[in-house]
Amino acid sequence: MKKIVVFASGSGTNAENIIKYFSETKTGVVTNVFTNNPNAKVIDRAEKFNIPAEIFSKEELYEGKLLQRIVSIQPDLIVLAGFLLKLPQNLVETFPDKIINIHPALLPKYGGKGMYGMHVHRAVVENKEPKTGITIHYVNENYDEGNIIFQKEVALTNEDSPEDVAAKIHQLEQENFPIIVEKVLLSI
């Protein structure tokens, strides 16, 4: 069975959805969850499924200690599910085309440093976009610039608030992310 490692920084709803999905398949299994946030709710979500959740510091990420830990696990795929830090070059180079991320907009629009969560949804509403969506993409050395694997859009109305947009995006993430993770895993 193929091994999946999940990185998350916050509430962990996407991480939990992926853990649940793969607990019911023979394709892969989430072996570890990593977070840079000691207060992240993803820790409790992982522990609920008996998945070890490991907390690391920025120093461990950027100085190579975390890379050594990830290499020791030998994951087939690394999934960023609401992970906010930029991955260092050495991690990206060690796992080429084996790290994927989900972004809450239709890239290349609304991507880059600082464009996450409600920041994206507010920008979409302020710019009166007729649609938005999700993008699942490979991770490279730049924020949100890796090759696109999948996009799914949703229509917006002039009445949609950033919170309405967030709810629509969350639904798309929950419906699509685990399925696309599985497709990528099967292609490896």
| Residue of 68, 24, 73, 77 whose CA lies nearest to 52 | 73
Average pLDDT value for residue range 132-148:
95
How far apart are the C-alpha atoms of 99 and 139, rounded to whole Å? 6
Q: Which residues are catalytic?
A: 103
pLDDT band at 139 (very low <50, low <70, confident <90, very high): very high
pLDDT digits (tens, 9 = 90+) for 85-120: 999 999 999 999 999 999 999 999 999 988 999 999
pLDDT digits (tens, 9 = 90+) for 9-41: 999 999 999 999 999 998 999 999 999 999 999
Give the type of residue at 117. Answer: G
Would you state the pLDDT for residue 61? 95
Give the type of residue at 86. Answer: K
